[in-house]
Structure 1
């Protein structure tokens, strides 16, 4: 009898423990994101500290994540995404309709009006260069056509890399001619510049935008086209006395910059809808926005009242090129088609 009681006791203990472990995993989310992995490692523990909800993440390129979400539509393997707003709004059938409880805190231009994408930060394309490898400072896109830079420019595949595509879009609008964006992207001046730029790459395309900064730092490339996320990472390291970054400079293009919003959204079919709503709400809250502003390199919070790290504060006004997500989405395929024609002609 004692033996039977002992066996039953052990069985009940194991049952209770398994149940407890199961409850713990219910308090976890899986996030797909193409934002800086360093920033994910900083922000997600802050969310867990505030809510008790752990977030496991899978980091990949935007294109790969979008493909993955579509392939997993019948059996979602993640719960939330943090991606460029345009990629979420391009096909909303894969996302749940949810508007954050903080939506009314935002300026009208940043509010979630579609029901799917909650804007939480924006980023701006930049040029990162090694001053030891150039004769004169880099100031903008026009600098990239210098003969001395041939084969020494780090640029990704604009058909699959969001950072490369956004630089392409920025480049066309900055270097094109016309009374509006529609005229600029069709102008000969824009595409003549793109062709000259691609020729100066000397048939070299980097396979991952993650190597842009490291390639410039180690001298493999003289200049790289990236986001200010990586730019701020370099500036911060330089200010902290890291000698590897002593010769690294970061500039916004003098011809103009196109800021891009990034958003969080809930993947359709998640079994953890309540937890995902808490994630979206926290990311768009004052607390979440303060974390983005103070602790994340190169991520600019959307909320106007968010706190900012000192190195993010600038007295230099930027030359912003106005653009809407709807316009960018509707013109993207046309831009890619034109780009592919030029690319194949040069790289063939």
Structure 2
């Protein structure tokens, strides 16, 4: 082949490569996929619920992979996030249980790490942030769980426990449930409720997952845990269920917040997807209540409240006294 023929062949190969490149780009674009995956950085304290949700989002959006941070909970997670934000290491999305600590963090970093965003799929909810700095995604309920081999027929109620009908387990550090009980009943009525409840056959055990496993194992036929933990074990064939009509059912909401990361387009896409019918169905498959589901039974939602540390210490001390943990 002479020099001129070789140059013509190279030009043809160059044109072919360019055409193939465009074809590949158009194919990936039509599939909603980029040739190189983008990483969505998410903070969450609901890993048991959200990890399956992340995987389904990745399947639906093959150009995206979710890198989630879930190594800490409660105040520790809040402090890690505060340090990240103070050093301008911005994440893309946060999916967190709403409490006063998290509300304070958002208000501290409004426009400096957290950004307002009103999703098209937003559902009306009393606990949505008025300026759209967070949006309610689902509700976790504290579940009065029971062993279905030991208790058949009518599900146990709090009155059954007060009457000493069953042994039951409770985490003495479950302060979120206590806070919800006070908001739902009022402080005096909540104290009276707890005194009657703790006069029953109470066993103190720590950890929601541990309590669920002990109910399954038969250490006690009833225990207070979380709805999605019960449903996870039930789907695996374990003899456990919970009573959604136990009065009251205390629940807290989990919310999505838009961060100031570099992937704002896919961050917004992710939040919209969480609120879509597809996203909500996948969330409900984890055993929690989607934001649009009508609450079943006597459900009381825990709202973030500005209460001084001194007042909460006094409430917690009273709680521990009722439990006979401290004199």
Tell me if TM exceeds 0.5: yes
- CA deviations on 1:27-47 (whole Å, 9 max, x unpaired) are 11232222252x323211221
- Which residue is 2:77 aligned to? 65
Task: Provide structure 2 residue ranges, at least 5 long, that are not aligned to the other structure.
Answer: 1-34
- Which residue is 1:99 aligned to? 117
Provide the TM-score with structure 1 as the length reference: 0.67
How has the CA–CA distance of structure 1 residues 69 and 318 changed in structure 2, closer, same or farther, with 3 Å as cutoff? same
**SS of alignment partner, residue 72 of structure 1:** helix
User: What is the CA–CA distance in structure 1 between the aligned matches of 2:204 and 2:249, rounded to whole Å?
Assistant: 24
- Which residue is 1:130 aligned to? 147
Bigger strand fraction: 2
Contact preservation (8 Å) 1:157, 1:205: no
How has the CA–CA distance of structure 1 residues 45 and 155 changed in structure 2, closer, same or farther, with 3 Å as cutoff? same
- Which residue is 2:15 aligned to? none
User: What is the CA–CA distance in structure 2 between the aligned matches of 1:332 and 1:155, rounded to whole Å?
Assistant: 24
- Which residue is 2:45 aligned to? 34
Contact preservation (8 Å) 2:251, 2:302: no
- Which residue is 2:178 aligned to? 168
How has the CA–CA distance of structure 1 residues 148 and 61 changed in structure 2, closer, same or farther, with 3 Å as cutoff? farther
- CA deviations on 1:158-178 (whole Å, 9 max, x unpaired) are 34xxxxx1x2234445xxxxx
In the TM superposition, residue 128 of structure 1 has moved relative to its aligned partner by 0.7
Contact preservation (8 Å) 1:127, 1:226: yes
Are positions 1:342 and 2:319 aligned together? yes
Equivalence map 1:20-59=2 (5 Å): 24=36, 27-37=38-48, 39-51=49-61, 52-59=63-70
User: What is the CA–CA distance in structure 1 between the aligned matches of 2:78 and 2:265, rounded to whole Å?
Assistant: 23
User: What is the CA–CA distance in structure 1 between the aligned matches of 2:234 and 2:255, rounded to whole Å?
Assistant: 25
How has the CA–CA distance of structure 1 residues 112 and 283 changed in structure 2, closer, same or farther, with 3 Å as cutoff? farther
How has the CA–CA distance of structure 1 residues 170 and 270 changed in structure 2, closer, same or farther, with 3 Å as cutoff? same
How has the CA–CA distance of structure 1 residues 34 and 137 changed in structure 2, closer, same or farther, with 3 Å as cutoff? farther
Task: Provide structure 1 residue ranges, at least 5 long, that are not aligned to the other structure.
Answer: 1-22, 160-164, 174-180, 305-312
1:329 alignment partner, one of 291, 297, 305: 305
- CA deviations on 1:309-346 (whole Å, 9 max, x unpaired) are xxxx99xx51234x573xx4235964563123331672
How has the CA–CA distance of structure 1 residues 228 and 300 changed in structure 2, closer, same or farther, with 3 Å as cutoff? same
Contact preservation (8 Å) 1:172, 1:194: no
User: What is the CA–CA distance in structure 2 between the aligned matches of 1:287 and 1:332, rounded to whole Å?
Assistant: 41
Query: Alignment RMSD, CA only?
Result: 3.5
Equivalenced residues, count: 282
In the TM superposition, residue 251 of structure 1 has moved relative to its aligned partner by 0.7
User: What is the CA–CA distance in structure 1 between the aligned matches of 2:179 and 2:69, rounded to whole Å?
Assistant: 27
Contact preservation (8 Å) 2:95, 2:256: yes
**SS of alignment partner, residue 297 of structure 1:** coil
Contact preservation (8 Å) 1:125, 1:227: yes
How has the CA–CA distance of structure 1 residues 303 and 251 changed in structure 2, closer, same or farther, with 3 Å as cutoff? closer
Contact preservation (8 Å) 1:125, 1:252: no
- CA deviations on 1:88-146 (whole Å, 9 max, x unpaired) are 3243124512223325x523546552321111112222111125556996533233345
User: What is the CA–CA distance in structure 2 between the aligned matches of 1:77 and 1:205, rounded to whole Å?
Assistant: 38
User: What is the CA–CA distance in structure 2 between the aligned matches of 1:140 and 1:97, rounded to whole Å?
Assistant: 43
Contact preservation (8 Å) 2:138, 2:288: yes
In the TM superposition, residue 225 of structure 1 has moved relative to its aligned partner by 1.2
- Which residue is 2:12 aligned to? none
Bigger helix fraction: 1
Higher gyration radius (CA): 2
Contact preservation (8 Å) 2:145, 2:241: yes
In the TM superposition, residue 202 of structure 1 has moved relative to its aligned partner by 6.2
Contact preservation (8 Å) 2:146, 2:156: no
